[in-house]
Amino acid sequence: MNYGTVQQGVITAPLTMCSNFNGVGAWHTLTDEKRAEHGWYPCDVINEGYNSRTQTRSALPELSFDGERIKAEYTITDKPLETIRQESLEALADIRYAREIEGVTSAEGIQQWTDRANRALLTDKISFMSDNPGINRTSWKARNGFVQLDVEGLKDLQSLVGFHVDQTYKAENAVSDMIVAAETIEDLLSINIADEFEIAFSGS
């Protein structure tokens, strides 16, 4: 049960029943009639639940009071097709990014970060090694510790990382095409974005 208060004509709701209000304790033991003597009333909440994928809800409810009960009614609005489409594309981009930076493991067991900062570090290290042929091997810090690599070993690691990242974008592109092609809200909602991304990623 939700409750609210009416103090000097000001309605505040919905609220969770508190243990102490206006110097009176044990509110949960009082009857509604006793609570009303102190301005504390039951509150009926309308439209509290909604589908966040297809609808928006007002941040605050419209409040009214009939002398015995408070009514808190949220306004629910259906989202237009293009809003749902854009939010679907944003959700897809988040899925792609999470997969993009999850890392890879080489055949030799080197666990490499694949976030953009570490990709830049790998590129810098390859450039340094290429410009200094007298340095045969370098200590490269992988996710699972240091490994000794020559410039070709670094390039192999970079290729593995690049292939992984490329796969994530190809998968995003494939699912993005599905989202863009959807002509109705029902078509959009039928697309399981996470599942379709995994299918495209595995097959890319």
Segment 61-91, tens digit of pLDDT: 999 999 999 999 999 999 999 999 999 999 9
pLDDT tens sequence across 86-130: 999 999 999 999 999 999 999 999 999 999 999 999 999 999 999
CA dist 194 and 199 (Å) reads 9
**Percentage of residues in the chain having pLDDT higher than 90:** 82
Average pLDDT, the chain: 94
CA dist 172 and 27 (Å) reads 54
DSSP 8-state secondary structure symbol assigned to residue 28: G
CA dist 28 and 34 (Å) reads 11
pLDDT at residue 151 greater than cutoff 70 = yes
CA dist 188 and 85 (Å) reads 7
pTM of the model: 0.82
Alpha-helical segments (H) within the chain: 32-36, 81-100, 116-131, 151-181, 185-189, 193-203
- The owner of tokens 């002398």 is 67
What pLDDT does residue 30 have? 82
What pLDDT does residue 188 have? 97
Helix (H) or strand (E) holding 193: helix 193-203
CB atoms within 10 A of CB 171: 24
Whether 13 and 39 have beta carbons less than 8 Å apart is answered as no
The amino acid present at 47, given as its one-letter code, is N
What pLDDT does residue 204 have? 64
CA dist 194 and 82 (Å) reads 20
Average pLDDT of the residues in 171-175: 98
